[in-house]
Every structure is written in structure tokens, then in C-alpha cells.
Chain A
Amino acid sequence: MRFSIYRYDPDKDAKPYMQDYDIQLEPTDCMLLDALVCIKAQDDSLSLRRSCREGVCGSDAMNINGKNGLACITKLADLKEPVVLRPLPGLPVIRDLIVDMTQFFKQYHSVRPYLINNEPAPEKERPQSPGEREALNGLYECILCACCSTSCPSFWWNPDKFVGPAGLLQAYRFIADSRDHATSERLDDLEDPYRLFRCHTIMNCVDACPKGLNPTRAIVKIKELMVKRTV
């Protein structure tokens, strides 16, 4: 199978280039990550992140034939040749398929992604009804792979000012939690021409999410809550 992979090592390359690989795959090599492991066995200089190999850790996000996705759950059989692999767009490249995610995590951290509830904790669990818990479905499952934010033109233009779909999904995850008492502060923090309102519902994020989550819907819900509290 033929691959064309983005290569760049700042230690020795003046500029990035695409390198072609032709490899013989075994029938047990089903996913794109299997192929990348084979390539790396032959050329140990190819650098990429990977860990769980089952789509839950979010390490091996990359741009695959023009679309962001996780190598470990992308089936080789579904890919057109040559398979063109590039680092996630919009973030600085450290080396090969490895991008610098500092800005992405900064935005995630900026939404205060933790439960805020200053009441003394009870001896046992804080009660939550099954319905209240279900409100977190589609939100808490995010794996922070950055496929969404790095497919979002608004994030490309303003990565330092726009929270981006991943961060906003998590902002809403805590707004939606019946146990969280900081909704109004959270909304204040996002009421800003950039942090939230750079989202123009382009919806690339929904298309890119390998977990089938819908950041746009969460963003719309945050906007609705903002409208509601002004009337």
C-alpha cells in the first residue's frame, strides 16, 4: 500500500517535504496505525504519537487524506491511495506528524474544566437523577484529540482568543452538570466577542469528531443560555 507522509525534522531539514512509502501489509494490519507501526519498523525516524490504539486516548490524531481523524480507528480498507498523511492543521509542527498542542490545552484549561460547587460535600454521593446524568452524554466522552478544533477555521485564525469547539464542549459539560453551581460565572467568562462568538457554525468540528460528538450543538446551547438570561 502506498503512503505519502509529511516529514519535517527541525534538527536537519530546512523545510518540510512529503515522503512516499510503499509497504507490504499483513492481513492482520487493519487500521491506519498498524500500517504506521510497520513503516516505523523500517524507518525509525518517522515520528508520531500513539498509545491506546483503540480510540480512547486521543494521541494519534492526524490529517488523513484531507480529513482529521485518529489513525488507530481509521480502517485501511476505507482509504484511497496514496494515503496522504499530514500533521493536524493550524498548530505549529514539532516534528513529522507531531504538533505542538500548547495552545489547544491552554484554551481547554481556560474554561475552568472542573466541577465548581462550594457547598460542603455530603457524607455520601451528591444525588443526581438519571435524567440529569443523561444531560452529560455526548459531552463527557471527549478525548481531547483536537481533531475538531484543528478543523475549525475560526480556531485557525484566532487560536489565542477563540476557545474552540473542544474547549467549548467541555465548558458546556460543566454548565450542563446539575451538581455545578457556577453557570453564571461560566457564561460571564464566555461572553466575549472572541471566546465564544467566533463560532460561525461552520460545523467542521461535528464532521471531524472521531467519537461522534457534536460541539456545535453544545455551543448553540451556551448561546441560548446567554440569550435567556438577558431577557
Chain B
Amino acid sequence: MALLKRKFDAVIVGGGGSGLRAALQLSEAGLKCAVLSKVFPTRSHTVAAQGGIGASLGNMGEDNWLWHMYDTVKGSDYLGDQDAIEFMCRMAPQVVYELEHFGMPFDRNEDGTIYQRPFGGHSQNFGERPVQRSCCAADRTGHAMLHTLYQCNIRAQTQFFVEWMALDLILDQEGHVLGVTALEMETGDVIILQARATLFATGGAGRVYAASTNAFINTGDGLGMAARAGIPLEDMEFWQFHPTGVAGAGVLITEGVRGEGGYLLNKNGERFMERYAPTMKDLASRDVVARAVATEIKEGRGAGKDGDYILLKLDHLGPEVIEKRLPGIREIAKKFANVDPVTDPIPVVPTCHYQMGGIPTNYHGQVVVPKGENPETPVAGFYAAGECACCSIHGANRLGTNSLTDLLVFGKAAGDHMVQFLKENTNHKDLPKNAGEHTLARLARLENQKNGENVYTVATDMRKTMQAHCGVFRFPELLVDGVKKIREIAGRAKHTEIKDKSKVFNTARIEALELDNLIEVAVATLVSAEARKESRGAHDRADYHKRDDANWMKHTLYYNAVNRISYKPVHLKPLSVETFEPKARVY
């Protein structure tokens, strides 16, 4: 069966922050660009970002991009690529000013400049003291940013395919990317979207864990599609656990609470972060704070009748500050934790939040893979940006606020590079004869499956396995066992069955297809984590306590399709400044 085709200059998969920022570059350059999104764009997960955008505007005191760069390199535990990090930190102020010009409702200072708050791991003068670098709109920065970017795209008349799910990447024999197959949810129709350049801006896969701050839609669709197409996934062992998810519910409580002066307490009322990070205290890097919280709970100093959470105190900020700077947090705490933070602390636990790894790219947003001698050969016509990409800005641990900076800087950079690429490549290449066959085979398998397993059951087992075997602390036996278990579950995922066979808005089918993507991510994570015999950033092994720069300062590349791991060097050389040499990480 031949699939219907539609042709565009560019296709962007994903309508969150990076997809919309890239789309703006393409639409304003007069190119015909289609943006596909599983949800109406303003429902993308960027909407849930709270605390702010990191940029050294220096509105609240001295700051500069080099300090931001140092903090990011140190935060990454020296696994971040220093050329990409320099690029991001230098560009950050410009993309924030642009966003302001687009209409973003940033909070303001008396002098009319953008208000900035302190955030974890961000410092003045190479770690001396906390700095106010996070540009915010109360604690709804992501919401304000996503809506602003969507609004600009209305003005730019970008063409949206709302509630379409991309299913598979289309490559030709030379390995050039020529578009995607996609499913229109409302009708169940599958078509080919042919493009001269394709950008994945599909977000993270935080839903591989049982306890996650992530939205239901964060199922790693871009990663699954890339992995199935034979493209390796980079650094998938590095997952950020946010120190403050609401206990039980998993909903995020921004680090901005601590930025505004809130702090963590154990059951004895001790401000324990002073022990773990004497200088930065509660504003140390996220991996450090998450481990401290988990350690307090593990060693019996957790609060509550089961001693299984820590308390986040902010009542001392006073109702005015809470109402002005953290109104969304108050709403969340009341709804999901049944406490009013104006009077009572919020019960919190470390919760899966962000995927540092992803589809390997350079700082232009081009997807890069090893080919011959070159570990980073661009895949023609293929780009990735935002959480689904591994640039690698965040290395082994992301700093708070750098995710939104990442979306803006690399969304724009990818858009710009695509505009250039499209100028130089004016003709659509022919689609391979079998384009779309793989997608149709997957759909037919699901349609005809008999005696298969319920999608929900398999997905739940996957999440439980990830949670138990690959959490904040990692143990060798659990990792080895986890790899075995997740492979078993991956086998079961090939035989899921749905009862609902309707063509119209079949969300059972969508969830089954999402599981295909999640499982690729879960396997890549466990295999990569088991293989990395050191502790670095968010990857903390009980049997290898220390960072091992001699053997492990390298990026993991895992090829799902053939179950092979390889490694590639970290870019230690920045674009214009001296390398930040690795040293012990103290906050």
C-alpha cells in the first residue's frame, strides 16, 4: 500500500520551546515548514517549567557569560562539551532579550529591567557566591515562554499539524533523512511528510520512571524513532532527579523556591544542606542536593510517619513574596500536598525530572554520528534540539534554568542552520521505494496481535524496573539484573495488544506506539548505566565512588538496533577561551 505524501521544505516534530523557536526562524525566512505536535502546542511540556531562564544579563549585580559557562561546565561534572557550552552562555542574553521583544511577560525590577533570581549551581566569580541569573515570570516561566513563542508563530503564519504523532524517520540508502511518517490522531490516517530538512524537537522521556515530574506525553518519541533508524543515543545513563517533587504526587516544586530563600529540613529540623555544601548550601547543583535528600531519608532522618520525605520550608519568606514570586507553587502545594506553604513546609522527594542524554548533535543542532575516522559526521537533513538532543550542554548533570536557555539558543541555532542548508539543497531527494513500509508493518502488527499483553501492564513493569534498578543511587547487582529485566520487558513490548480498533482518536493505539519509544529509552539507559564504571554527575555507583577522568571522560553512544556501545571524546576545547580543566567538584 502506498502512503499519501505531502511535501515541505522542512518538518519540525514537536511544538514545545525548541520546536517553536526553530519554526520561527524558518517561517520568517519564508520557508514552507510544517510543525507536528501530539498535542496543541501550548500543551507541550515546556509549559510546566517554573523557575526561569539562565542568562548573564547582570541586572541584579555583576555577571558575565564566562561565569555562566564555568558553572555549566562544573555542573556537568566536566562531561559537557565546552564549545557548545560557550556558545550557549554567550548567546543566552541575546535570546532572552529577543523573547522579551516577542512579548514575554518577564517580572521586572524598579528600573524596568528583567528581574532575575538565584538558582542552584549558578555563581559569581567561579563559584564564590550565588548569583541572580534566572530570568523569570513568577514561577510560570515555561508557560509564559511557550505561549509567547506560539503567539509569535501565529504572527509568522507557521503551519501546524496539531494532534499528529510522528511514527518513523525516513532515510535513503545514503543515510540522508527525508522526512517522517505520521499519524493523524483524529482520523487514524497515516501519511508521509517529505522534507529537505527534518528537526526533532520531541522533548524528553521522563515517563520511563514510575515517579516523574514529567507530563504523560514525555515518551521519548524522537529517541525511539532515531534508535529504530540505527542512530545511536548519547549519554543515556544520565538522568536528573529533581530534589523537590511533591512526595507521592511527583509534581515539580521549582528550585526557585530555594532561590527565593526557602530551604530543606530533615525530621530533626536541621538545615542539612549546610553539611553537604557549605558555600552554596540549598543552592548547590541538583545532583548534589538530590543525593543529600536521598541520603537523609536513607539514614533515617526523613520526616513523616514513614520517614520517607524531606521538608521544604518557605513560610519565613512571608505571604507577600510567596504570592508575588511563587503563586503557582502555593497552588500546587495546596492541591497536591494538602499544605499551605505560607504556614507549613512542603513534603518533597527526589523525582525523575530531566534526561541529559539524547540524540547526538553539535552546537548547530545537526545530528552527528560516527563514520570512519570522524566520530561526529553530520547526518544530512537531520537536526535535533531541546531535551531530545544531546549537544552536550548538560553533560552528567544539568543546572536549573539551563533547559529553557537550551531550548531558545539551540532551537534558534538549528533553525538558522536549516535555513542555510535549505538554501544549498534546493531539491527534494527521491523517497526510497519502501518508504513507510516499516511504519505500516508496526501498525499492522498492533492491529492483528492476538493474545498479547495489555499496554498499561507492560508500561507499568518498565517504570517499576527503571525506578528500582536505575535511580538516584546505583548498585552493580541491581544494574546487571536491571539490564536483564528490561530486555525481557522489551520483548513483551513487541507483543502488546489493544482492544480498541477504532480509527477515530484511538488513544490506546497512541499509548502502544509511545511504549515502543519508551522501551528504546529504557534499554539504552540501563545498558549505558551498567557499562559506565565510575560516578559522575547524576550517575552515582556504589562500587565506583569517584569520577574517573582517566578512563571515563567520554560520551557513551548506544546503538539500540544492534545492541552495541561505543564512546566518543568530550570536547574540552571551547570556541574562544581556555579550557576549564576538570577539578574536584565542591559547592
Contacts and interface: CB of A to CB of B under 8 A. Distances in A.
Say whether A and B bind each other.
Answer: yes
Interface of A: 9-12, 28, 30, 40-41, 43-45, 47-59, 73, 75, 94-96, 98, 101, 105, 109, 112-115, 117, 121, 123-130, 132-133, 136, 140-141, 143-144, 174, 177, 179-180
Contacts of A44: 454-456, 498-500, 507-508, 511
A26 to B, nearest CB: 11
Contacts of B216: 50-53
A16 to B, nearest CB: 13
A58 B48 CA distance: 11
B546 interface: no
Interface in B451-499: 454-456, 498-499
A101 to B, nearest CB: 7
B101 A121 contact: yes
A12 B505 CA distance: 13
Given A54-B251, A126-B100, A179-B103, A113 B215 contact: no
- Residues of B in contact with A, size category: 35 or more
Given A50-B216, A53-B216, A113-B154, A129 B112 contact: yes
Most buried by A among B40, B43, B113: B43
Contacts of B154: 109, 112-114
24 contacts: A9-B502, A30-B336, A44-B454, A47-B506, A51-B215, A51-B217, A52-B43, A52-B45, A52-B48, A56-B48, A56-B143, A56-B328, A57-B47, A57-B215, A58-B42, A59-B43, A95-B502, A115-B101, A115-B151, A121-B97, A121-B98, A121-B101, A124-B113, A126-B101
A43 B511 CA distance: 13
B105 interface: yes
B585 interface: no
B249 interface: yes
Contacts of B508: 40, 44-45
Which of A10, A47, A105, A179 has the most chain B CB atoms inside 10 A of its CB?
A47
A59 B39 contact: yes
Contacts of A132: 108
B58 to A, nearest CB: 10
Contacts of B249: 30
Given A54-B251, A115-B103, A125 B143 contact: no
Nearest to B99: A125
A187 B387 CA distance: 40
A141 B112 CA distance: 21
Contacts of A75: 335
Given A9-B504, A56-B143, A140-B137, A130 B40 contact: no
Contact of A133 (B105, B143, B328): B105
B425 interface: no
A197 B333 CA distance: 39
A231 B187 CA distance: 53
A129 B40 contact: no
Contacts of A52: 43, 45, 47-48, 215-216
Contacts of A43: 499
A174 B152 CA distance: 13
Given A41-B456, A125-B97, A133-B105, A11 B47 contact: no
B39 A51 contact: yes
B40 to A, nearest CB: 7
Contact of A55 (B44, B105, B112, B335): B335
A180 B155 CA distance: 14
A61 B43 CA distance: 12
Contacts of B48: 52, 54, 56-57
Contact of B43 (A45, A58, A98, A133): A58
Interface in B66-113: 96-98, 100-103, 105-113
Contacts of A95: 502, 504-505
B270 interface: no
A53 B147 contact: no
A205 B40 CA distance: 22
